[in-house]
Structure 1
Amino acid sequence: MTLDLGPDPADAPPLRWGILAAGGIARKFAADIPQHTASAVVAVGSRSRERAEEFATANGVARAHGSYEDLVADPEVEAVYVASPHSEHRDHALLAIEAGKHVLVEKSFTRNAAEAREVLDAARERGVFAMEAMWSRFLPHMVALRQTIASGAIGDVVTLVASHGQPIAHVPRMARPELAGGALLDLGIYPVAFAFDVLGEPSSVHATGWLTDAGVDATLAITFGYERAVAQLSTTMLARTHNVAEIAGTAGRITVAETYYAPTSFTVHPTDGEPWTVAPEVTGGFQFQAAEVARRVHAGELESPVRPWAEIIGTQVAMDEIRRQVGMVLPGE
């Protein structure tokens, strides 16, 4: 089977990026975009000028701003990558949108569906592009995986299994409900989004798990129901799981290697026939989503059909229901 691995990020039109919040994930963005695309990271903003200047120096960014307001007001910045904690995504996305900037907001997009709708409504009204930074959706192996399933290589999908566990409960923000901590919004978003990618929005959601003494989810088991399929998902911030995924269909199955949400490979196991593997060579990873933003912005579009607004909201609705079932309420909700 000949598979299209998606457009080359280097061929996307240029876009001038500003990074909002100078944390660890922002460093990867600052490295991948100038190295693999025609775009540039021209500015970084932090609540601390010293922190912004340190980030700019370490990552080759031209300008450092000591406030988020100054970052979004920078006339050289066309698009803002929001890399702050989940609890701040709504406010920071709205800040950038009000300034007329396109936004790529780290996952999870917001704390809940109501906040997601507010951000997307603002983007529509202001006429700017907005998307969740679900980098997995744009990686070559995922582009090829969707084609493989659509081709009927494994028949009709009937089950999907995916987990994401990392031992990061010791990280301070993970323990704090006021920062929207817990496993689901940080780690569980990956298996949840993977199920949405392969099977779409579920017709039923069932969840069980337990909360820490601080009231954030530590470990969850989730079942999504569909008309003729089921997805079994899990997440934990207490242990590293295998972090692989399997999709089984009426004519075979696909195993997506560790780590399925990052650049990796998958193997197709037909019921009748020999297994075959797709293993794209990828350096970096964040450039694919950034290139998608640049293409859509230059086309005058407000959303991406690969991760559309309706699906961003649908994912948040599902996670709201998961949290409701396990009794996790965040401050201010």
Structure 2
Amino acid sequence: MRETVRWGILATGGIAERFTTDLLTLDGAEVVAVASRTEASAKAFADRFGIPRAYGDWEGLFTDEDVDIVYVATPHHAHREAAGRALEAGKAVLCEKALTLNTREAEELVTLSRDRGLFLMEAMWMYCNPLIQRLAELVRDGAIGEVRTVQADFGLQGPFDADHRLRDPAVGGGALLDLGVYPVSFAQLLLGEPDTVQAHALISPEGVDLNTGMLLGWESGASALLSCSLEADTPLTASVTGTLGRIDVPRGFFFPERFTLLRNGAEPEEYVNEDDPQSLRHEAAEVMRCLRAGGTASPLVPLDGSLAVMRTLDAVRERVGVRYPSEMAATRV
């Protein structure tokens, strides 16, 4: 691939604005097109960022010969269709997390990308954060011994009105896919896919999870206590404890400014992020690195890892009784 990577942005919401802002700080990144379901929204977005082409439908973006990769920033329920159509059109794809509504849809996307030899990555920006990479490296290298416990939480104060997208089951609403994906991904980065999944949740009248607690277990004896909430401003911290020490990550664990390594019997070791911890450019840079190298998947955000996280999220929803309308419709058919 050429040195310049030409991006197309699909959807024009807040996360698309954040990503595009950070993407344009990278050398060799060019945004050539944006698409939305309305031409007015696409044109307003294009005008804001100086993007040459704006489409009022998805197809224009997918058939644009100048687009190398599509960034999918739609709500969860549209990820499967949007990413799938982009791949079928021969485009590489970076798709927001959670990758899809469920494992079946995720497996379909992964199979499609592998069959076509096209790049696909879930936009789990936490995995691309240099400090998170360093934390995972320390754990792998045995800095805290054998991992025994992981704790992480992500909660927002709310309340969210009944008509808010986070409470709409039709678009994959609820705490789990928006927020819970972070604690689950953090635990599985360090321990892999769990052997057992237990969960409890407060369910809204609409049928989505408002407050969810998860207990994951591994045959090694390790466990993870995780939570997500749309009703409580939780600490947003994470901790991983092993037989030889502990690592504590303060508020904002998924974009850490620092973390502390506490080895048994030793002075605390502080690791500091010298870069902007909230920037999305690290994941964009990883995508462009992979594309330039001819890769079809990222070693930092592997597709098998994304599938494993989706299986855990599915297991949690099964335990608490949350199903999305599209899943119920598919069962009836």
The partner residue of 1:239 within 232, 235, 251 is 232
Partner of 2:320: 326
The partner residue of 1:299 within 277, 293, 301 is 293
Task: Confirm or deny that 1:22 pairs with 2:12.
Answer: yes
**SS at 1:312 equivalent:** helix
Written as runs of structure 1 = structure 2, the 5 A alignment for 1:139-154 is 139-154=129-144
**SS at 1:240 equivalent:** coil
The partner residue of 2:187 within 180, 185, 195 is 195
Give, in angstroms, the shift of residue 167 of structure 1: 2.7
User: Which residue identity lines up with residue 237 of structure 2 in the other structure?
Assistant: V
Give, in angstroms, the shift of residue 228 of structure 1: 2.3
Task: Confirm or deny that 1:213 pairs with 2:200.
Answer: no
Written as runs of structure 1 = structure 2, the 5 A alignment for 1:165-314 is 165-170=155-160, 172-226=164-218, 227-283=220-276, 285-314=279-308
Quote the RMSD (CA, aligned, Å): 1.4
TM-score (norm 2): 0.94
Instruction: State the distance in 2 between where 1:314 and 1:248 align.
Output: 22
Partner of 2:124: 134
- Which shifted more, 312-321 or 301-310? 301-310
User: Which residue identity lines up with residue 97 of structure 1 in the other structure?
Assistant: L
Q: What number of residue pairs does the alignment pair up?
A: 322
- Which shifted more, 82-91 or 141-150? 141-150
Task: Confirm or deny that 1:102 pairs with 2:79.
Answer: no
| Change beyond 3 A, Cα 1:326–1:37 | farther
Give, in angstroms, the shift of residue 36 of structure 1: 3.1
| Change beyond 3 A, Cα 1:299–1:144 | same
Give, in angstroms, the shift of residue 76 of structure 1: 1.3
**SS at 1:97 equivalent:** helix
Q: Is there any run of 5+ residues in structure 1 with no aligned partner, and where? A: 1-11
- Which shifted more, 82-91 or 303-312? 303-312
Partner of 2:78: 88
Give, in angstroms, the shift of residue 61 of structure 1: 2.1
User: Which residue identity lines up with residue 121 of structure 2 in the other structure?
Assistant: M
**SS at 1:311 equivalent:** helix
Partner of 1:77: 67
Q: Conserved in 1, the CA contact under 8 Å of 2:26 and 2:285?
A: no
Instruction: State the distance in 2 between where 1:157 and 1:72 align.
Output: 44
Task: Confirm or deny that 1:53 pairs with 2:53.
Answer: no
Deviations 1:100-155 (A, max 9, x none): 00001000000000000011111112221001000000101111111211232211
Instruction: State the distance in 1 between where 2:83 and 2:198 align.
Output: 30
Q: Conserved in 2, the CA contact under 8 Å of 1:18 and 1:71?
A: yes
Partner of 2:330: none
Q: Conserved in 2, the CA contact under 8 Å of 1:263 and 1:282?
A: no
Instruction: State the distance in 2 between where 1:246 and 1:119 align.
Output: 33
Partner of 1:317: 311
**SS at 1:36 equivalent:** coil
Instruction: State the distance in 2 between where 1:231 and 1:14 align.
Output: 42
Q: Is there any run of 5+ residues in structure 2 with no aligned partner, and where? A: 328-333
User: Which residue identity lines up with residue 154 of structure 2 in the other structure?
Assistant: H
| Change beyond 3 A, Cα 1:26–1:244 | same
Percentage of pairs with the same residue: 41
Instruction: State the distance in 1 between where 2:121 and 2:159 align.
Output: 28
Instruction: State the distance in 2 between where 1:263 and 1:32 align.
Output: 17
User: Which residue identity lines up with residue 322 of structure 1 in the other structure?
Assistant: V
User: Which residue identity lines up with residue 254 of structure 2 in the other structure?
Assistant: Y
Q: Conserved in 2, the CA contact under 8 Å of 1:263 and 1:285?
A: no
